[in-house]
Structure 1
């Protein structure tokens, strides 16, 4: 009887201590052996360790694991598996490799050598992969790649989230697409929409252009980009920059929001604004909101502002027309001007200014119905004043040399006006000097005439057709008699610096339209 009681007590103690681990592991899901051709449990493998060989299978939650051989550590709920590793999760995710370390309590798998993770159309390849099933993240840390449809993404570090089908890449990231390559230090990739999120300095290189941005998105399926910080698209001859750029690679269309900068290196033209677009295929461009056109002439640069700037290709040529609409003002050290609108023809390098244009060149003020400036080798050599042409230059306080006619052509050399030819109803008033003293007021008219200039001063007048004129002492002519009809001195409207092109001023009184000569000599004067 005493022996029976002693046996029952001993059995109870054994059952108590045997139940302790179960109490400690209460709530965990144990890894189960599904199959093995041969199983062995021996002390040489360790306490509570089983060795399994041949077509080995384990199950844990919804995860099935296959291998050639394995050690199963039942107490710690872990598996070390070797050869032909194949892990299947929820019948959708397949993980392959040479070696598997699986920790059931942590729901974590570590796969080494020849690793492949397949999730639908996404294939991740590496030699070192850790997969945390709790947080649903698979990550590699010694180089790997993900292939998704037409995209191959390579990096030193990578994180893949199978459930959300999102991947994060770090260090030496390269995305290879049939149409381009993308280089970055950090990228995010959404595999279902096939969209790359740019979160650091990134360069995209293709045959057509090179794109740079530090933030934004690139839709690899539709070839559409939204570039959101310090962005640029650089082509062979044109470069587009801006704070934010929307870019459609298929159509070649790039739309810029804030700080647009478009460089045409072939034509030495820069267009800026706070909104605009450029199409690299059609070569069409637009800029508004503080739009500026900068045109390089030798050592000088023209700065032109308008409400809207447009550039359009000229059919059957490689050249473009640049148009400026409304409130046009421009500044260059040797020339300034304003008008309502302008067209710059890059084919023959002609700038045409419309609707009461006014130009200032050194001491000369030029106005007409239309003005054309001709350049050659980026240097201005001729100016045409068409319809009611008028040139004014101050000679002394309150005294102005004046030239008027239907049409004028000014010839320029080394940035200085050398000669003016007047065609139709030519009229002049100028002040000849002797030893820097005004000796009279010369008034002349001729159907056609030429004015010669030297050092920005009138050096001679040639009256070619039906000339007439006289010289009068200054005291004989009052202020009005010293002005041709339509005279306007508009220095207050002149841009003095490149910043002045943004200053809005009231338009000057329009030029008087005169159909015929308004100047008649007073024969009673000597």
Structure 2
């Protein structure tokens, strides 16, 4: 937008003073020396000073001592020296220069100010104070009509709550909004934001950043196409290729999504639009996808509801490091849940995972696989150790299946199923409540010799070399053992049997492309 231009020659300066003296300089013109309560006027501009020399022909004045320019009662400028070009309506001020629009105060050693365009310029360093906010730069431009200030070169903004370091910044003293158009670093508390585009509303404590800003906090980093923060509510939103990474070395994780909302006060995040959680470790990373992922702190959750828990007496108790903040973190996944790692895979309707006990809690007809083993139930708790399956509980309609070979399956069913994994294979199973089992027996050479089909109140099975080694029945045993030649493998199925290999995630890329 072009600047306004003054098409008419500036009016002759009018003056008042306690004393004045006329002097004529040959070849130059007439000068008027003014002293004592000097006051000059041009249109709506008033100039006050201790003394001045006025060239009426050129319409130029030099003023000295306690200078005050009142520009239409909107902008006030002060200095110890002034040269004012009346025709151009331009003031050149030096020494202890101060400009204020009633809110912000600009101080500098040298300032050029135009009373027609209401634009002030400094090129040798300046400082602006607006309440508790202080801005400094090498160059600066003040636009009185809009109350905009344009800062360039070595720009620093200091406020009790944040600090900004950039090369170019636009600030409005009325709205108190700072805008960024070049690489900018913003420091607030433990958080640093690096951005190349955006604005910060200092009055309302809101900010919007674009061009893939990066947030670096003490616990995490966050990158997205666009970010928005509301410090008053502690609410934030990230959009477009969002990447959230934790810094906890013991329980490291990342969340990817196209939309993520966060609460910086509670530490919670809500990821939607193809979210993916990655629980990272050295040898076996776990990937989790769902329609929605939510994460928060257990201490916050426990204020409002009980965290589902079953004590795992077999899994070694974890040593928690208080410095590792993620030991206090949980995840929830809703709808179309899929889990993949090299050692375990799972699907289900919903999921709860806690870093405190490294336990996956699957709800609503989940399925869990590990190597040639499948576990189903209305609800499954899967305990992990070093992110590998260690133990499981299947509640209501529990069924553990161990694939022996094509069409041959060891099967263990009960109201509840309790199992232990060793090196990814089932090592022990207890089926309790209306327990059923089908398992195949083998000779010393490994050849199948028969099939056992039994029911009991409780069935305990110990495995050796991936095969049932010892089976114990507690109360109300009924069963048959059939020679292998009389067995129709397709009929050897417990109630509710369903081998769900087609639902099993085969690679992490199935989840990454979700």
- C-alpha distance 416-475 of structure 1, shift in aligned 2 (>3 A): closer
Q: Is the 8 A contact 2:166 2:183 kept in 1?
A: yes
Shifted more, 70-79 versus 90-99: the winner is 70-79
Give the total of aligned pairs.
Answer: 477
2:355 corresponds to 1:371: no
Equivalent residue in structure 2 for 1:150, among 124, 128, 132: 132
CA distance in 2 between counterparts of 1:346 and 1:303 reads: 15
CA distance in 2 between counterparts of 1:93 and 1:358 reads: 72
Give a deviation string over 1:355-380, Cα, whole Å, max 9, x none.
11011112212211111012356554
Query: Helix, strand or coil for the counterpart of 2:274?
Result: strand
Query: Helix, strand or coil for the counterpart of 2:485?
Result: helix
CA distance in 2 between counterparts of 1:276 and 1:382 reads: 33
CA distance in 2 between counterparts of 1:52 and 1:418 reads: 106
Gaps of 5+ in 2: 1-6, 308-326
Aligned to 2:295: 311
2:19 corresponds to 1:32: no
Give a deviation string over 1:402-460, Cα, whole Å, max 9, x none.
332332222234555432233231413236365564444444554433333456x2151
2:414 corresponds to 1:405: yes
Q: Is the 8 A contact 1:404 1:428 kept in 2?
A: no
2:460 corresponds to 1:450: yes
Query: Helix, strand or coil for the counterpart of 1:217?
Result: strand
CA distance in 1 between counterparts of 2:444 and 2:137 reads: 83
Aligned to 1:12: none
Q: Is the 8 A contact 1:49 1:71 kept in 2?
A: no
CA distance in 2 between counterparts of 1:431 and 1:184 reads: 75
Equivalent residue in structure 1 for 2:109, among 127, 148, 163: 127
Shifted more, 171-180 versus 54-63: the winner is 54-63
Equivalent residue in structure 1 for 2:48, among 42, 66, 90: 66
State the Cα distance separating 1:164 from its structure 2 match: 0.6
CA distance in 1 between counterparts of 2:30 and 2:463 reads: 108
State the Cα distance separating 1:264 from its structure 2 match: 4.5
State the Cα distance separating 1:344 from its structure 2 match: 2.0
Give a deviation string over 1:54-83, Cα, whole Å, max 9, x none.
234433332222334444344443333333
Equivalent residue in structure 2 for 1:336, among 342, 345, 370: 345
Gaps of 5+ in 1: 1-25, 505-526
Shifted more, 101-110 versus 325-334: the winner is 101-110
Equivalent residue in structure 2 for 1:486, among 496, 501, 506: 496
CA distance in 2 between counterparts of 1:394 and 1:359 reads: 14
Query: What TM-score, normalized by structure 2, do the two folds share?
Result: 0.83
Aligned to 2:33: 52
Q: CA RMSD in A?
A: 2.9
Equivalent residue in structure 1 for 2:259, among 275, 280, 296: 275
CA distance in 1 between counterparts of 2:267 and 2:8 reads: 68
Q: Is the 8 A contact 1:429 1:444 kept in 2?
A: no
2:157 corresponds to 1:175: yes
Query: What TM-score, normalized by structure 1, do the two folds share?
Result: 0.82
Q: Is the 8 A contact 1:356 1:369 kept in 2?
A: yes
CA distance in 1 between counterparts of 2:449 and 2:337 reads: 40
Once the two structures are superposed, the pairs formed by residues 456-475 of structure 1 within 5 Å of their partners are 457-458=466-467, 460-466=469-475, 471-475=481-485
Equivalent residue in structure 1 for 2:145, among 150, 163, 166: 163
Q: Which has the larger radius of gyration?
A: 1
Once the two structures are superposed, the pairs formed by residues 57-136 of structure 1 within 5 Å of their partners are 57-136=39-118
